[in-house]
Structure 1
């Protein structure tokens, strides 16, 4: 099961098999193509090349959306820029780029580990609410239906925070036909990459690092 790793601006996508080994021939073909072109490919291209599906087919009907959600607004696809500062020391500039001016790219694999999330949150924290970095609305609540360690281990294995259906705030999350996960207001969040356990929402931490709303706000 491959991890799809989007590197920072100016770097290439890479694809790493579990344990850090280079994966089989599709990966080598992708790496070769990138070296020939000197460019980067979006996640959707990587998924198509290796035959892994992203989509909204099994997403609850209430969470399915269409491209009109991502129409141009006051700030890219967002109604306004991300809040500043963000939780866990997440990069504001990266959040601005990924949340509001992007449909395909991601923070680099493992970026979430460089934030203070794992220092501030632990098994004793209970359920943690992840808020939209732009609107402040709740998007995910985890862990639910599993332990904190299970949530962390799955996220570490894939390179990005990974949420399940039970952990989504369905009123505020939408999944488009190509698997792109967005907020109902147009924040790019990541992608739905289903596996044998069901839907897995692979999410950029910079997209869900909004500050907890103040009581009464």
Structure 2
């Protein structure tokens, strides 16, 4: 944040009403332009410390990640994960972890890119399933081609999805930005940018097979 923006925000906090605070601080913060509602929501999060991500993101509560039979899930990850993803890494990240991730670029060391290209050529999209339950979590690419999806994922270090690529029936975003499945699988985090919500997801968390097939 630029120095003049910081001082403007600080003086506003000490003297303005809530409505004036929001309006003035919003004009001071260098938030990327996407839509007025999106900018207002992100700015409110920055000011008040509460994260509420704009629709179509579906928010969930902390109870989703409560202790269960196997960490935060009822079951361990599937034994035959796709793309040669490592079982132990997947089980640790999916079920016994809330903050950490596979190392950046891990997905490029698997067979994902090669197999994804084949699936994309055959079906025009790639399905990503919960590594624990086999439920569909993401469908990509949508609104872009495969090369664009891979380029963005390469840039950030992890498979990166947009709102329209999320199966919201089975995915939730917590107030701390953590992306999880409705069954308690840790997936990654929502890290919005100038284009909107961006979900940086561990490949080992979405390498399941449909219904455990």
8 Å contact 2:187–2:205 — kept in the other structure?
yes
Counterpart for residue 71 of structure 2? 76
Residue in structure 2 matching 1:124, options 121, 125, 144? 121
8 Å contact 1:188–1:207 — kept in the other structure?
yes
8 Å contact 2:191–2:199 — kept in the other structure?
yes
Aligned alpha-carbon RMSD (Å): 1.9
Tell me how far 1:62 sits from its aligned partner.
Answer: 6.5
8 Å contact 2:75–2:132 — kept in the other structure?
yes
Tell me how far 1:56 sits from its aligned partner.
Answer: 4.8
Q: What TM-score do the two structures reach when normalised by structure 1?
A: 0.71
For residue 174 of structure 1, give the secondary structure of its aligned residue in structure 2: strand
Q: Which runs of 5+ in 2 are unaligned?
A: 1-45
Tell me how far 1:143 sits from its aligned partner.
Answer: 0.2
8 Å contact 2:53–2:59 — kept in the other structure?
no
Structure of greater Rg = 2
Q: Which runs of 5+ in 1 are unaligned?
A: 1-50
For residue 69 of structure 1, give the secondary structure of its aligned residue in structure 2: helix
For residue 210 of structure 2, give the secondary structure of its aligned residue in structure 1: coil
8 Å contact 1:162–1:200 — kept in the other structure?
yes
Find out whether 1:110 has 2:105 as its counterpart.
yes
Counterpart for residue 61 of structure 2? 66
8 Å contact 1:59–1:175 — kept in the other structure?
no
Q: In 2, distance between residues paired with 1:102 and 1:55?
A: 22
Counterpart for residue 206 of structure 1? 204
Find out whether 1:93 has 2:88 as its counterpart.
yes
Q: What TM-score do the two structures reach when normalised by structure 2?
A: 0.73
8 Å contact 1:56–1:192 — kept in the other structure?
no
For residue 190 of structure 1, give the secondary structure of its aligned residue in structure 2: strand
Q: In 2, distance between residues paired with 1:110 and 1:195?
A: 20
Q: In 1, distance between residues paired with 2:204 and 2:113?
A: 15
When you count helix as a share of all residues, which structure comes out higher?
2
Q: In 2, distance between residues paired with 1:159 and 1:175?
A: 20
Residue in structure 1 matching 2:168, options 167, 170, 174? 170
